Amino acid sequence: MEGSLMHVTRTVEANIKAIAALFTVCFYDSVIHHCGKLPKPQAMEDVFTLVFRAEPAAALVAKDEKGTIIGYC
């Protein structure tokens, strides 16, 4: 998008819910393939919480101009 800005920063634990939701939407087919069905949101949040707590300084998020998380790594 022309003129759009995004901001990349280290994530905080409060972002985990949005990261898990974004992953589930973006990788829906893979989630269904590996899990057999769509897991409860809390299950996905638990996975990302574990990863975040293992290496919090390595977790980044990208936010749009409104502060919505649009990416992560």
Give pLDDT tens digits for 7-52.
999 999 999 999 999 999 999 999 999 999 999 999 999 999 999 9
Check residue 56 and report its DSSP letter. Answer: G
Averaged pLDDT for residues 39-66 = 96
- Given this model, what pLDDT does residue 2 score? 66
Tokens 């057999």 sit on residue: 36
Single pTM value for the model: 0.87
Name the nearest CA neighbour of 31 among 41, 18, 72, 53: 41
Q: What share of the chain is helix, strand, coil (3-state, %, to 5)?
A: 55, 20, 25
